[in-house]
């Protein structure tokens, strides 16, 4: 048995299971073995206005989905095989409000590029009164479209999308009238400069009294690169959970059984809630220092022992010379 998919005229995706021998017939009718869109991670939108929907812990800013929405929306209907029926998010949103202002990744840059410095100041004057834009960023970026101004505008656009496309200006007004919860906006990972990582490696080796070889420098530079990436994603997960709370998934287990009295076969469905664990905090530099210190603990120890032996030999030699002088 294989699963095939078909994109319907209304944007929804149908799915069914067929015998492999039927595949050619279904292909002639517009079915395919490849899903039209990625169905993994799709969730039903039940969030409140002004709250991001985050898929898999992060928003993909290269997707064609509007801010806060997945690519497909659960329609609440079922396919022939009982699986959920999904609808393309753009078709879904047009059904909510054909005249709505729906914002997509990149729209924040287009909007800010159109604004003059005075208009940017006016926007910042409004955003700073919300919890989306703090006073420190306001003072540092006043009159220019900095990173925090852009993030705050994304939050306003996300709130607009959740308010049936009312527009980011109206979304700001609504936030000022009825302050909502903080919106999590994920950051994108940016790799640090290789030269900086090599300098960090050299500094750690200097701290243990050893000079790294070229091979050791290159090796531990790559270790530091991996640790920095772990630190970033750990910090991002903690930041997301502090705003939205941990993700909760429901695991469903089905098993065959029989009714006690009639012994009629039945299926028992058991569910288990799995709560996302809080990730461990990662300090990349501290972990690298611990790693290097551990790797060269024996070498450093032998160097210290050799130093003590040289000092002891010197002391013994001096003692012998004194004894010879006394006995001479």
Q: What is the DSSP string of 275-328?
A: EPPPPPP--HHHHHHHHHHHHTHHHHHHHHHHHHHHHHHHHHHHHHHHHHHHH-
Category of 124 on φ-ψ map: left (φ > 0), alpha (ψ -120 to 50) or beta: alpha
**Phi first, then psi: what are they for 269, rounded to 5°?**
-110, 120
More confident residue, 196 or 35: 196
The DSSP call for residue 103 is -
87/75 Cα distance (integer angstroms) = 6
Q: What residues have CB less than 8 Å from 264, skipping those under 6 apart?
A: 258
Phi, psi angle pair for 281, to nearest 5°: -70, 140
Quickly count: other Cβ atoms within 10 Å of residue 106's Cβ. Answer: 10
Indicate the pLDDT class of residue 121, thresholds 50, 70 and 90. very high
On whether the CB atoms of residues 21 and 27 are closer than 8 A, the answer is no
Reported as a single tens digit per residue, the pLDDT across 174-183 is 888 877 666 6
What is the average per-residue pLDDT within 138-157? 92
Instruction: Decide which of 64 and 207 is more confident.
Output: 207
Calpha distance 14→72 (Å, rounded): 12
How large is the average pLDDT for residues 310-327? 58
216 — pLDDT class (breaks 50, 70, 90): very high
| pLDDT at position 227 | 94
Tokens of residue 72, six digits: 């497909």
User: DSSP states of 46-89 as a string?
Assistant: -PPTT----BTTB--TTSSSPTT--SEEEEEEE-TTSPEEEEEH
The CA distance from 115 to 125, in Å, is 14
Question: Radius of gyration of the chain from Cα atoms?
Answer: 31
Beta bridge partners of 269: 254
Q: Is the pTM of this model over 0.85?
A: no
| Distance between CA atoms of residues 214 and 220, nearest Å | 10
Query: What is the C-alpha to C-alpha distance for residues 62 and 72, in angstroms, rounded to an integer?
Result: 16
Confidence of residue 204 (pLDDT cuts 50, 70, 90): very high
Residue 220 buriedness (CB in 10 A; 0-12 / 13-18 / 19+): buried
Task: Supply the pLDDT for residue 53.
Answer: 33
């Amino acid at each position: 048995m294989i699963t095939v998919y078909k994109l319907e005229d209304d944007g929804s995706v149908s799915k069914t299971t067929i015998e492999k021998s039927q595949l050619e017939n279904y292909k002639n009718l517009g079915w395919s073995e490849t899903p039209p869109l990625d169905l993994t991670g799709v969730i039903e939108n039940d969030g409140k206005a002004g709250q991001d929907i985050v898929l898999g812990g992060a928003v993909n800013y290269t997707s064609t989905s509007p801010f806060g929405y997945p690519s497909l929306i659960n329609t609440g209907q079922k396919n022939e095989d009982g699986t959920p029926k999904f609808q393309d998010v753009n078709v879904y949103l047009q059904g909510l409000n054909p005249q709505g202002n729906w914002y997509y990744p990149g729209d924040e840059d287009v909007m800010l590029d159109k604004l003059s410095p005075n208009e940017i100041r006016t926007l910042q004057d409004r955003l700073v009164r919300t919890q989306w834009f703090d006073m420190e960023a306001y003072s540092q970026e006043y009159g220019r479209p900095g990173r925090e101004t852009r993030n705050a505008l994304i939050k306003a656009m996300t709130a607009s999308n959740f308010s049936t496309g009312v527009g980011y200006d109206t979304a700001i007004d609504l936030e000022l009238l009825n302050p909502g919860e903080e919106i999590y906006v994920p950051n994108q990972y940016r790799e640090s400069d290789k030269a900086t990582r090599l300098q960090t490696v050299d500094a750690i080796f200097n701290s243990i009294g050893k000079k790294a070889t070229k091979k050791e420098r290159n090796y531990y530079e790559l270790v530091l690169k991996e640790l920095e990436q772990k630190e970033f994603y750990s910090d991002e997960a903690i930041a997301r959970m502090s705003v939205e709370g941990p993700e909760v998934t429901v695991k469903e287990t089905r098993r065959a059984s029989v009714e006690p009295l009639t012994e009629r076969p039945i299926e028992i469905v058991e569910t288990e809630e799995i709560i996302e664990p809080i990730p461990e905090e990662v300090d990349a530099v501290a972990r690298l220092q611990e790693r290097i210190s551990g790797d060269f603990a024996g070498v450093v120890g032998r160097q210290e022992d050799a130093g003590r032996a040289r000092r002891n030999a010197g002391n013994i030699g001096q003692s012998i010379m004194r004894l010879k002088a006394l006995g001479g």
